[in-house]
Amino acid sequence: MTNRADGRTPRGGASTRSLAHSPGRRSFLRLAAVGAGGAALPTLAGAGEAGPPAEYPWSQSLGAGVVDKPYGQPAAQEAGVIRRNVPWLTAGTESSISFSPIQDLKGILTPNGLFFERYHAGRADVDAEQHRLMVHGLVERPLLLSMSDIVRYPSVSRIHFIECPANGGMEWRAAQLNSLQFTHGMISCAEWTGVPLATLLAEVGVKPEGKWVMFEGADGAHMNRSLPLSKCLDDCLIAYGQNGEALRPEQGYPLRLVVPGWEGNVSVKWLRRIKIGDQPWYTREETSKYTDLMPDGKSRGFTWSIDAKSVITFPCPEKPLGKPGLYEVRGLAWTGNGKVKRVDVSFDGGVNWQAATLHEPVLSKALTRFSLPWQWDGKPALLESRVIDETGYVQPTIADLRKIRGVNSVYHNNSIQTWQVKPDGSVFDVQTA
Amino acid sequence: MAACSMSRPLEALLAVGALLALAGPALAGDKPLYGYGTRPTQAQIDAWNIDVRGQDGLGLPAGKGSVDQGSEVFAEKCAACHGTFGEGVDRWPKLAGGEGTLKADRPEPTVGSYWPFAATLYDYIGRAMPFPNPRSLAPDEVYALTAYILNLNNLVPGDFVADKDSLPKVGMPNHDNFTWEDPRPDTRAEPCMSNCRDPKAVTITSTAEGKTLTPRTTGPLDDMQPK
């Protein structure tokens, strides 16, 4: 069977060609095929004996009516699926980060209540009525906009991830945190709705000397970052919508910048000011922080883009295996450079690899789901995933990254993650040589 | 029907937008296409325009402050977190020290050892500090605090007075160690599919197993500190 990881239909040869259009169907067939080679299917647990009761209390009573919960909540059993923090990481929670529970997420979109948080001065609870966006600097016509002005502009909706470049930053020296949530949870993905930044820039008329743009938030940090005008005109959004509703306060309500594929810090939240200049500002957040210290004492600044990265989300430390048998290994891949082209999975620490199935939709600068059936024989295994993006870039190993960047660069650790599976099915975060 | 009659002007609008986009330097067109919002007054712009540019101090306001004045304000408004001499209390950031540590096993990047531009200090203190009540300092206070922190790092003498002319001239020792062009991709790998490594060479060099750093990921939030 042809393992096409690029999402396109194989051009012949494969006997299941006609079914290959549907990735879901195809991976089901592959799973079944692998299963058929394995042990006989177990019979339904307890069937014929003390089977599950035909009727449960919820089947024999009236449920709560509409608007019982005017704003819906997850089932009570899901109460543990929450953003979590590492309390010892920062002095307080106001300049800190929380991690998305990606081990429990089912698709490419992060529910708004689970989107990771990064604040530099706590969550600003902005009054949208009073909020204004000022656009000025090297422009023909400075502009002051209310939210009701902003929503009048032609709008677009785009699905993009936002990743903090410090995601995985605690793993540069060694495997430290035994958890997918804490090694990879500084990433989330949403459908953003708003105005292309290019529309606003055309509206104010950028002067020919204008080459850089500074964005500033209305939070206590007045977070400010510089971006080159070319990126601003390319694909940036001034967003007010997140997964179909207004932005959450945690994500910058009522207005934020979304800079697709670039480190999360530049997607300034609670956006209140855009200033056009002829040079970058070299703000504290692009000099003291968000620069990468190399082993020779030099530092890299303006390392904006997120290189391709992937991780297996099942199994993982939080989601171990049960008995030996057939499993669907699942994961997420993404790249700031466009689309994911292929993801390979290894069960032996990178000696041999198999192409995984990519699941639609495969969108530019968005999380992409992949999976591969695995007949686990109960032996120890080292699981890894490796993404290749549409530029041909191959996700590196941590050893390869360390050779060039040492262990003190904090940001942009996009290395291959190794999960050690033990015979009892438990899973551990490890690094290999 | 309302829905139909609404979509047509919108389409027309989009067509105009597309035309403008094709018409070359639409960025500096003579007229706004939509005309929403208002033009801010000069007073409004001045009140919002707080940024100070790192490399040349563009945007620095009138006013001045000395190292001595800074030491007083700092003791009152900053030292509780950053320590009297910028040494940092508990896990609050250090503002001084760390010279010569950038190549060390545990580098200590601070204003003195790391920051490339002195004027950035004015910008940051003025917009974000003191942490609990930002934008509460007068320009003279921000200048004085900037002078004091630079002095703590031995970057200016004790009689230094910071203002819009003197601050951008302060040399920062780590300035030349920054590059502002992203050299990535800086790794290259072939996506080998089989027998890519010697299986015997695949050894575990580190594991998170047994380390006490990971907060729990089920049940309520953890407030653990490493043991």
- What secondary structure does DSSP assign to A24-70, as a single string? HHHHHHHHHHHHHHSSPPPPPTTTTSS---S--GGGSS----TTSSS
Total number of domains in chain B: 2
Q: Residue A373 CA to chain centroid, in angstroms? A: 23
Do B33 and B102 lie in one domain? The reply is: no
Name the residue among B10, B177, B213 with its Cβ closest to that of A297. Answer: B177
Residues B6 and B93 occupy one common structural domain: no
Separation CA A344–CA A335 (nearest Å): 15
Q: Number of helices (H) and strands (E), helices first, in chain B?
A: 6, 4
Q: Which of residues 25-44 of A touch B (CB under 8 A)?
A: none
**Domain span at residue B7?**
2-48
Same domain, B135 and B161: yes
What's the average model confidence in pLDDT over A257-274?
A: 98
Q: pLDDT tier at A312 (50, 70, 90 boundaries)? A: very high
Asked whether the predicted pLDDT for residue B105 surpasses 60, the reply is yes
Q: Does position A57 have pLDDT exceeding 50, yes or no? A: yes
Residue B191 lies in a domain: no
List of residues 6+ apart from B77 with CB closer than 8 A:
B130, B137
Q: Report yes or no on B205 lying in a domain.
A: no
User: Mean pLDDT across chain A, nearest whole number?
Assistant: 91
Is the model more confident about B17 or about A403? A403
Average pLDDT over residues A112-131: 98
- Residue of chain B with shortest Cα separation from A288: B115
pLDDT for A52 equals 84
Query: Are B92 and B37 found together in one domain?
Result: no
Is there a domain that residue B216 lies in? no
Domain limits, CATH 3.90.420.10, in chain A: 87-292
Q: Which CATH number fits domain A87-292: 1.10.8.60, 3.90.420.10, 3.20.20.70, 1.10.8.100?
A: 3.90.420.10
Closest Cα in chain B to A233: B27
Residues B80 and B9 in one domain: no
Say if B74 falls within a structural domain: yes
State the nearest Cα–Cα gap between B217 and chain A, in angstroms. 7
Q: Which CATH architecture is the domain A309-430 placed in?
A: Sandwich (2.60)
Residue A45 has a pLDDT of 47
CATH number at B77 reads 1.10.760.10
The interface predicted TM-score of the complex, written ipTM, equals: 0.89
Cα–Cα distance, A260 to A235 (Å, whole number) = 7
CATH 2.60.40.650 domain range(s) in chain A: 309-430
Question: Would you call A305 an interface residue with chain B, using a CB distance cutoff of 8 Å?
Answer: yes
A29 band by pLDDT with thresholds 50, 70 and 90: very low
More confident residue, B15 or A245: A245
pLDDT tens, residue by residue, B16-52: 444 444 444 445 567 899 999 999 999 999 999 999 9
Buried b / exposed e across A59-82, counting CB within 10 Å, b at 16+?
eeeeeeeeeeeeeeeeeeeeeebb
Whether B140 and B80 map to the same domain: the answer is: yes
User: Is residue B15 in a domain?
Assistant: yes
Q: Is the same domain home to B160 and B87?
A: yes
Q: Are residues B12 and B99 in the same domain?
A: no
Which amino acid would we find at residue B156? V
| Same domain, residue pair B108 and B138 | yes
**Nearest chain A Cα to B15, which residue?**
A154
Residues B38 and B71 in one domain: no
Q: Give me the helix-helix angle, B139-152 and B67-77, nearest 10°.
A: 100
What residues in B contact A88, CB-CB < 8 Å?
213, 224-226
Residues of B within 8 A of A348 (CB-CB) are 199, 202
Indicate if the pLDDT at residue A190 is higher than 80: yes
Whether residue B54 lies inside any domain: the answer is no
Q: Same domain, yes or no, for B81 and B158?
A: yes
Q: Is residue B217 part of a domain?
A: no
A95–B196 C-beta distance less than 8 A: no
Model pTM score: 0.90
Does residue B158 sit in the same domain as residue B115? yes
Q: What is the pLDDT of residues A98-108, one digit of tens each?
A: 999 999 999 99
Cis before A361? omega within 30: yes
Supply the angle between the helices B2-22 and A197-204 in degrees, to the nearest 10.
70
What distance in Å separates the CA atoms of residue A114 and residue A106, rounded to the nearest whole number? 12
Q: Is residue B201 part of a domain?
A: no
Q: Are A370 and A385 in contact (CB under 8 A)?
A: yes
